[in-house]
A and B are shown apart, each in its own frame.
Chain A
């Protein structure tokens, strides 16, 4: 339990630091960047739940982010209190997940991947067709707009999501989900309802991503309605999750930090090329570092263990063919 306590303390410490930060920082720039970081942590954990824990590739996450943003925005502008609007965003995302999850999760992985991608692409096109304009915030909300409030909201939500992911994947539910990732057939053979657990993971992930979308809608003052549906919102969380390390709680956090720092650095210098570079990075990570940044300590440890295993094998009692 020592390790757990240590992690908890580190986590609380960081949260506390971030909570007190606004007192010492003047100006909005840092708060804006940190908000973005928290947002990315949230949606990357969503992606992490799918690809890291459930072993499902949700390439169409943009559709869920988008619908969360859309519903939350419309609700909020229409007068609903923000927390209900955010909740509505999350829930609408869950409904969407059922629409594509139920048909495709009973089948092999590529159906799901293609299905979610189709959902995202068609979602973006359709929204672009039926809501081509800009979404504005009505005057009365503008006057009450507080960056600080949104900063704490984002901090709280991302901390909550991290805790939830950690707790869920150390629980029985999480174990069941993990078993469906590693060997679907074996899990089925011991009586696990693979479909149920995959759908649960999907719903959970979608809720988180939908919340992220709602957060986006609550934060940004004006944007084109189709922006939250853009494919980048599928791509960037995946990139972050893989670079950081899929299947770990810390992975998306590390990846998000890496990503936001690079993005900020690039927009001031390279501009357009930043996305191009991220594309290349994703390819390199997939090909050569599948475990991401979080796997590096593990890889170093393996180097120490390998020679010992080798010696044992040469003892001659191996099963050979």
Chain B
């Protein structure tokens, strides 16, 4: 029974890792950007949720739509101010440069956060924090269940958007061949802008959930790490496999905590990562690398 409990927590974590990784995978698949600062942007969103809660009593789940707008705007600003300049580089350099730039952004955001809100840890505690549904002795936290539901909704919504809407198809087309897309009348610059902003916006639910755990200026990098590892586990560019990969990682982590203890939790991900690189670098899941 205890192992089931750990597994449950693992799945919940996995859902969260997946939501974090989705934006990363999107940015990489469409533009070839590796955005190491994704975690920091999410934490910024989490601070937003925190203050909305502290000052005006907004429930974190309710503030997700507000967060989506805010993060979209943030993404658009970042794109125009910083990332759009990367397009003049050839594709190979783009990856390296985007990594370095997001590295720089990471430190900028972290220090802005420290200046504005100090380095203290914070968390949103709602009336239902810690409450669980008891299923034959298995404790299912309300927030955890909400996390999994959110993750599934986000993945489905993204899939529908990319495959059933014209703009979504335009995004996929641009990802596959941007020059040809231009020749179809697609405004590629605007498509990139929206895609990038979308990659940040899509982390809004994750930001909300994380605000109920713990937030501090520097913690974003840990989430970015999960995101990056998942992008590799799922297979680079394979968006559909992100959530399953997340569940997989979450479970493995949970098992390692069960067996070896909590201080070494991070190592599980690292070991899995190294093993995947050694034996299956194309990712654990089959499926076309491409949108």
Is there contact, CB below 8 Å, between B103 and A235? yes
| CA gap between A121 and B220 in the complex, in Å | 11
Nearest CB in chain A to that of B85: its residue? A287
Distance in angstroms between the alpha carbons of A81 and B117 in the assembled complex: 45
Query: B200 within 8 Å of A by Cβ?
Result: no
B115 pairs with A273, CB closer than 8 A: yes
Report the nearest A residue to B227, measured CB to CB.
A114
Cα distance A115–B225 in the bound complex, in angstroms: 9
Question: Binding site of B, secondary structure by majority: helix, strand, loop or mixed?
Answer: helix
Of the candidate stretches A16-24, A38-46, A187-195, A274-282, the one touching chain B is A274-282
- Interface assignment of B36: CB less than 8 Å from any CB of chain A: yes
- Chain B residues near A103 (CB-CB < 8 A): 274, 277-278
B176 within 8 Å of A by Cβ? no
Task: Evaluate contact between B281 and A107: CB separation under 8 angstroms.
Answer: yes
Q: Which residues of B contact A57 (CB under 8 A)?
A: 96, 99-100
Q: B278 — nearest CB in chain A belongs to which residue?
A: A103
Task: Please provide the chain B residues from 237 to 291 with a CB less than 8 Å away from any CB of chain A in the complex.
Answer: 262-264, 266-267, 269-270, 273-274, 277-278, 281
Pairwise interchain contact B104-A282, C-beta atoms closer than 8 A: yes
A267 at the interface (CB under 8 A from B): no
Q: Does B111 contact A (CB under 8 A)?
A: yes
Cβ-closest chain B residue relative to A111: B277
- Across the interface, do A276 and B111 meet the contact criterion of CB distance under 8 Å? yes
Chain A nearest CB from B277 CB (Å) reads: 4
Q: Is B229 an interface residue (CB 8 A)?
A: yes
Q: Are B100 and A276 in contact (CB under 8 A)?
A: no
A276, B107: Cβ atoms closer than 8 Å? yes
Once the chains are docked, how many angstroms separate the CA of A162 from the CA of B116? 41
A242 and B267: CB pair below 8 A? no
Closest-CB distance, B267 to chain A (whole angstroms): 6
User: Does B108 belong to the interface (CB within 8 Å)?
Assistant: yes
Interface residues of A in 126-147 (CB under 8 A from B): 126, 129-130
Of chain B, the residue at the smallest CB distance from A271 is: B115
A86: chain B residues within 8 A (beta carbon): none
> Which residues in A have their C-beta under 8 angstroms from that of B269?
118, 122
Residue B112 lies at the interface, judged by CB distance under 8 Å to chain A: yes
Interface size class of B (residues with CB under 8 A): 35 or more
Query: Are A117's CB and B225's CB within 8 A?
Result: yes
B64 within 8 A of A: no
- What is the distance, in angstroms, from B238's C-beta to the closest C-beta of chain A? 14
B residues near A121, Cβ cutoff 8 Å: 221-222, 224-225, 266
Say whether A110 faces chain B, with CB atoms less than 8 Å apart: yes
Asked if B105 lies at the interface with its beta carbon under 8 angstroms from chain A, I say: yes
Residues in B88-107 with C-beta less than 8 Å from chain A: 95-97, 99-101, 103-107
- Chain A residue numbers with a CB within 8 Å of B106 are 279
- Chain A residues with CB under 8 A of B115: 272-273, 276
Q: What 7 pairs between A and B have smallest CB-CB spacing? A: A129-B263, A103-B277, A122-B266, A282-B104, A279-B108, A279-B107, A276-B111
Between-chain CB contacts (< 8 Å), 24 pairs: A103-B278, A110-B236, A113-B34, A113-B96, A115-B273, A117-B225, A118-B269, A119-B270, A125-B222, A125-B266, A126-B264, A126-B266, A129-B262, A130-B264, A242-B100, A275-B110, A278-B107, A279-B106, A283-B101, A283-B105, A286-B101, A286-B104, A287-B85, A287-B101
A interface residues, Cβ below 8 angstroms from B: 57, 59, 99-100, 102-104, 107, 109-111, 113-115, 117-119, 121-122, 125-126, 129-130, 231, 234-235, 238-239, 242, 272-273, 275-276, 278-283, 286-288
* Supplied contacts A287-B85, A287-B97, 17 more A-B pairs, CB within 8 Å: A59-B36, A99-B274, A109-B95, A114-B34, A121-B222, A121-B266, A122-B225, A125-B266, A231-B221, A273-B115, A275-B110, A276-B107, A276-B108, A279-B107, A280-B108, A282-B103, A282-B104
Using CB atoms and an 8 Å cutoff, list the residues of chain B in contact with chain A. 34, 36, 82, 85-86, 95-97, 99-101, 103-108, 110-112, 114-115, 221-222, 224-225, 228-229, 231-232, 236, 262-264, 266-267, 269-270, 273-274, 277-278, 281
